[in-house]
Every structure is written in C-alpha cells, then in structure tokens.
Amino acid sequence: MAEMTMIEAIRAALSHALETDPAVILFGEDIGIDGGVFRATDGLMQRFGAARVRDTPLSETVIAGMAVGAAAMGLKPVAEIQFSGFLYPALDQLVNHASRLRNRTRGRLTCPMVLRAPYGGGIRAPEHHSESPEAMLGHIPGLRVVIPGSPARAYGLLLAAIRDPDPVVFLEPKRIYRTVSETVQTDGAALPLDRAFLLSEGKDITLVAWGAMLAPAGEAVAQLAGEGISAELIDLSTIKPYDRAAVRASVEKTGRCVIVHEAALTAGFGAEIAADLAEHCLTHLIAPIRRVAGYDTVMPYLRLEAQYLPDSGRILQAARDVMEFT
C-alpha cells in the first residue's frame, strides 16, 4: 500500500504482472531503455530483461501485429502505443484479427492482449497527441475498451485487462498521469471489468463521466451540493461493454442525467448512453438528457485547448439547466 500517481500505479501493475506471470511480455516504442515517453515502464527492462520488456521499431502496425501473434500463441502481450493519435495504423490488426480471433477459430484460439495508449488532451500537445477515440474503438465487436479514472482503478483494471482472455484497449488519460495521487493497494488484486464505479451518491441528478473528465465533474458535484442539489457521479471505467445496469438504476432514481466526455460531441460515446436511457428509462426521465463534450473540430493547439475541453463551469451549467425541469 502506497501513495501513488496514476503513472506509478500503472508501472506497479505492469511490474506485478511480470513478476507473477511468465507469459506476460511488454513491448513498444522506447519502452525499454528509456522507459516510455511518459516513463510508465521506467526500470522494467533493467529488472526483467530485454526478452520480456522490448523496444520495437517505430511502427504501430508491427506492434499490434506482434501482439496478436504472441497472444494467439499463448503469451500475454502488453503493447504500448505512444499516443492514441498514432493508433490508426494498428486498426487493421485490431479490427480484422484481434477482435475476431475467438470467433474465427470457434474458440480454439483467444487473443489475451492489451494495447495501452495515453489518450486525451490537457498537456498542450499537438492534435495528433490529444485524440479521444473511445467511441470508434467501442464500435468494434470483440474488443474491450477500458479507461481508468484514478491511480487505484488504473492499477486494478490494468491487472484485470492483462488477465482477460480477450483483447483490451487500455486508454490512459495522460492529463491526470501525475496530477492525481491516492493510496493504492499493490497486492495484485484486480478490479472488475465492465463495471461502473459510484463515486458519490445523490438523488437529484446523475453525472456520468470517465477518464480525465471525472475531475471537473467532481468539482461540479461539490458546487451543486452547495446549491442544495444532490448529484450522483458515476465513473464508467469500461466503455465497451459498459455497465448499462448501473447507469439505468441511477437515472431511474434521479430522473435526470448529464453525460460528460472530452471527445467530439457528434457520435461520441455519450450518444450511446443517451440512446440507451431514452429506450429503457424514458418513463423515469424528468428532463432531457444533456451531453457536455468537446466540439466537432480537431483538437486545437495549446492556446485554445482549454476552450475545447469541458470544464466544471460547462458541466455545472448543464446540470442547472436540467434541474429547471420539475
């Protein structure tokens, strides 16, 4: 048990997996000698050797293809894509092979691979380094998409992803790699996949968020409490398949919902949640569902990045608008 940032918790989870399971291997661009661009794998090559923590060429297609092949042969590869915006060359392997291997072989082969990628904005990087592709990845049948929202959940969910027999894309909100710390139980216990986490209970309105958006959503919850509004905050954590039952149960209780994500609004994953609530919880809704999201444009450069990303002010205003319906 120790106080950790998210990047430290991810490193601790990778270290535990390497220690306890000889089938686990790590590879990616600069993850070995340099420890990765964000130092998530710092020191792991020196500790476990180059055979298990390996640098690769600058080729996302090769990295993803190696992971599929290694997983099919019984290993548990954890591959790193330096930034999620560089993930697109790997989509051929993810869509056509990783996600279909179990079905194609009628269960004879599985694909227990994890593809890690820092994602999202907030660090003043160029647009290719600030993508939020969770909705696109969530549309691929056979692929699980996980986004941790805190150091403790990053530790437990990454271990669960490594142990899962099917492919997982593990998107890490780099904006909070080092800005959030908490006590993490580094005992090797995994957290459940496909399960949402209730961060605060409320009776008036439900807020649903994930990744770096949990921080401004939490700020909005605190401000709403000062106005006498009791808000429930849900960390979705697993985007695909997401915990529909938990979201529905909360909205059935509160009657109102605001969904927050930093990806562009149109066809963002918030639309999937809103559609499900409209289909299954319509008679419980007191007010229209609201989405607070990024804008339908490429992530702007650093001077305008803060205007693009949802903040507590935008979330608070959406919640107030929804509360006007009685």
Paired tokens of 272: 């999937």
Q: Please name the residues in contact with 40: beta carbons below 8 A apart, sequence gap of 6 or more.
A: 7, 10, 11, 14, 31, 80, 116, 172
Query: Within its chain, how far is the Cα of 204 from the centroid?
Result: 27
Alpha helices in the chain (DSSP H): 6-20, 44-48, 60-72, 91-96, 101-104, 134-138, 151-163, 214-226, 244-254, 269-280, 302-308, 312-323
What DSSP designation does 44 have? Answer: H
Cite the active site residues. Answer: 129
Q: How far apart are CA 33 and CA 39, in angstroms?
A: 10
Q: How far apart are CA 320 and CA 77, in angstroms?
A: 46
Q: How far apart are CA 58 and CA 254, in angstroms?
A: 49
Could you tell me which of 125, 173, 208, 130 has the C-alpha nearest to residue 5? 173
Q: Please name the residues in contact with 26: beta carbons below 8 A apart, sequence gap of 6 or more.
A: 14, 18, 41, 44, 52, 53, 54, 77, 78, 79, 80
Looking at the DSSP bridge assignments, the partners of residue 170 are: 116, 146
Query: Within its chain, how far is the Cα of 242 from the centroid?
Result: 11
**Burial grade of 221 (CB within 10 A; 0-12, 13-18, 19 or more):** buried
